[in-house]
A and B are shown apart, each in its own frame.
Chain A
C-alpha cells in the first residue's frame, strides 16, 4: 500500500461521509423520538432539547401496537421455524446429492423471488377470502413460509457445499449413516452460516410489507403495517410518536446485524482459503 497521499485522504473523507449518511438519518430519527412536538416543528433543527419518554409511552400503550408486535413475533417466528425445519434438510440434499433435477430445483427456488410480491398477494387475497382464512395468523404464516423456505434453501445450499467433503467421508468410514452425518457432522460444521441464513429470512419476513398490507385488515396486522398506519396519521402530525414507532419497528432487525455481518465474512473467507 502506498503511503499517505492526497488521494487517499480524499478517499477517506468520502468513506467517512458515506458512513455518516448510513447512520445519521437513523440517529436523527432516534433523537426525534425523544422530542416533544414543539422541538420537532421548528424552523431550525434542534440538537439539544429536554428529552421526553411520552412518545414511547404512547406507542407502547396502544393496544394496536402491542397486538402488531405479538402478531409479528408469532407469524415471523412460526414461518421461520417451518422454513428452517423443512428448508435446511432440503438444502443439504441439493448440495450433497446432486441429480439431474438439482439445477432445475435450485432455479425453481430462485425463480420464486422473481415473482413481484403484488402478483402473489392479489390471488392469495382471493384464496384466503374464499377459504374464510383472510386476516388470520394461520394464513399469514402459511404465506410467509413461501418466503422463508425459499430463502433458507437458497442461502443454505452454498453453506452445506462448503463443508469439507473429507470430514463427511471420514464419518462414513467410521460407520455413520447418511442421516447421522447430516445431523451430527454437516449441521454443526455449517452452523454459523446456517444461523445467518435463518436470521436473514427472519429479517425478510419481519420487514415484509406489501403482502401483509393486502392480507390483513385487523386481527393479524403485523408491526410494519401498524407502524405505517401511525406514520400516515397526519392531522396535527404527531411527529414524535411516528419516530418512536419507527424506532420500535427497527430494533429487532438491527439486533441481527452482528449475525448477518458474520455470515457475510464467513461466506467470503472460506472461498479464498
Chain B
C-alpha cells in the first residue's frame, strides 16, 4: 500500500503560494486604485466610485483603442496561422531533410530576437529615405514610401513584424506536427489520385485540428503583447491609428499624464475581458 507521501505538498506549495501572492495582490490593488482618483504626482487619492469607468465609455481614444486591439488580434493571429501552415506544408513537401533542419534553424531567429530589436530592425528597414525595404519602391517610382506614417498602412506594417516573428516560428511547429502523422492515410489518398493540395486540405489539416487550435490559442495570448513593437515603431501614431489598449493605458498611466487610477480602470477591464475570453476558449479547446 502507498504510504502518505509528503512530496506533492512540499514541492507544490511554495511555488503556488508565491504565484498566488504575486498574481492576486496586484489584481486586488488594480481594482482598488481604479475606484480612486490617484495621479502619479498626487499619491493621496480619494475614492470616487465608478467615475473612472463611466468616463472611459465616453472617451474617444478608449473606444478607438478597443477597435485597434481587436483588429490587431484578428490580423496577427490569422496571418500567423496562414503563413505557418503554408510554409510548414512547403517544408514538409519540398525540402530535403538537410534543408529542413537548416531552414528550421533560421526560422527560429526572428522569434528569439528581443521585440525591441525586431521593432528597430524593421523600423529602420521601412525608413522612407534610408530603408532597405522601401528602397526598390523609391528607386522605381522616385517617390519615397512612408508606410509607418500613413494611418491606413501603419498598423499592417507593425503587424507584419509580429507575423515575421511568430509565423516563421509556428511554421517549424507545423512541420514537426506533420512529421508526427502516420504515413498510411497519405499513401491511401495518393493511391486514390488525390492532388497534393487535396491531401493537405482533406487529410492532413483535419488530423491536426486539435494542435492547430492550440497554436491559435497560444498566438491569441501572445498577440496581447503588442506593446513593444508599437512603442518602438509608431508610439500609437500617426494620430491614434495604432494606439492599442495597452499603449493607451500606458500613456495615460505613465508618460502622458500619470493618471494612474484612470489607467487602472482600463487595466481592470482588460483583465476581465481577457480572462473571460480565454477561459471560455480554453474550456472549448479542452473539450
Contacts and interface: CB of A to CB of B under 8 A. Distances in A.
**Do A and B interact directly, with beta carbons closer than 8 Å?**
yes
Interface of A: 7-8, 11-12, 14-15, 18-19, 21-23, 25-26, 28-29, 32, 40-45, 86-87, 89-90, 92-94, 97, 99, 105, 107-120, 122-127, 129-130, 142-143, 145-146, 149-150, 153, 178-179, 182, 203, 206-207, 209-210, 213-214, 224, 227-228, 231-232, 239, 242-243, 246, 249-250, 253-254, 256-257, 260-261, 264-265, 267-268, 271-272
B47 interface: no
B11 A250 contact: no
B242 to A, nearest CB: 15
Given A12-B95, A22-B107, A86-B15, A118 B26 contact: no
B267 A93 contact: no
A116 B260 CA distance: 16
Contacts of A227: 114, 116-117, 120
B116 A207 contact: yes
B279 to A, nearest CB: 7
A139 to B, nearest CB: 11
**Interface class of chain A by DSSP:** helix
B260 A122 contact: yes
Contacts of A97: 5, 7-8
Interface residues of B, number: 91
B228 A129 contact: no
A231 B109 contact: no
B75 interface: no
A114 B7 CA distance: 29
B19 A146 contact: yes
Contacts of A243: 124
Interface of B: 5, 7-8, 10-12, 14-16, 18-20, 22-23, 25-27, 29-30, 33, 38, 43, 87, 90-91, 93-95, 99, 102-110, 112-117, 120-125, 129-130, 132, 135, 138-139, 164, 168, 171-173, 176-177, 179-180, 196, 221, 224-225, 227-228, 231-232, 245-246, 249-250, 253-254, 260, 263-264, 267-268, 270-271, 274-275, 278-279, 282
Given A123-B264, A179-B7, A272-B179, A116 B275 contact: no
Q: Which 7 A-B pairs have the closest CB atoms?
A: A11-B94, A90-B15, A89-B11, A119-B267, A93-B11, A123-B29, A268-B176
**Interface class of chain B by DSSP:** helix
B33 A123 contact: yes
Given A15-B95, A21-B164, A268-B176, A119 B271 contact: yes
Nearest to B13: A90
A44 B253 CA distance: 42
A23 B106 contact: yes
Contacts of A40: 130
Contacts of B250: 118, 210, 213-214
Contacts of B264: 122-123, 126
Contacts of B268: 119
A250 B224 CA distance: 22
A153 B19 CA distance: 11
B243 to A, nearest CB: 13
User: Most chain-B CB neighbours within 10 Å: which of A44, A94, A118, A142?
Assistant: A118
27 contacts: A8-B93, A14-B90, A15-B103, A19-B107, A22-B164, A23-B109, A86-B15, A92-B11, A93-B12, A105-B12, A111-B279, A114-B274, A115-B23, A116-B267, A116-B271, A118-B249, A122-B253, A126-B260, A179-B7, A209-B115, A209-B227, A210-B225, A224-B114, A243-B124, A246-B120, A253-B112, A257-B108
A264 B19 contact: no
Contacts of B20: 108
Given A116-B267, A129-B43, A264-B172, A146 B115 contact: no
A115 to B, nearest CB: 6
Given A26-B109, A97-B5, A15 B22 contact: no
Contact of B19 (A112, A126, A232, A253): A112
A127 B114 contact: no
B160 to A, nearest CB: 10
Contact of A209 (B16, B91, B108, B116): B116
A29 B30 contact: no
A109 B275 CA distance: 13
B87 A239 contact: no
Contacts of B279: 111, 114
Contacts of B109: 22-23, 26, 254, 257
A76 B168 CA distance: 26
Contact of B90 (A15, A111, A178, A250): A15
B18 A149 contact: yes
B275 A122 contact: no
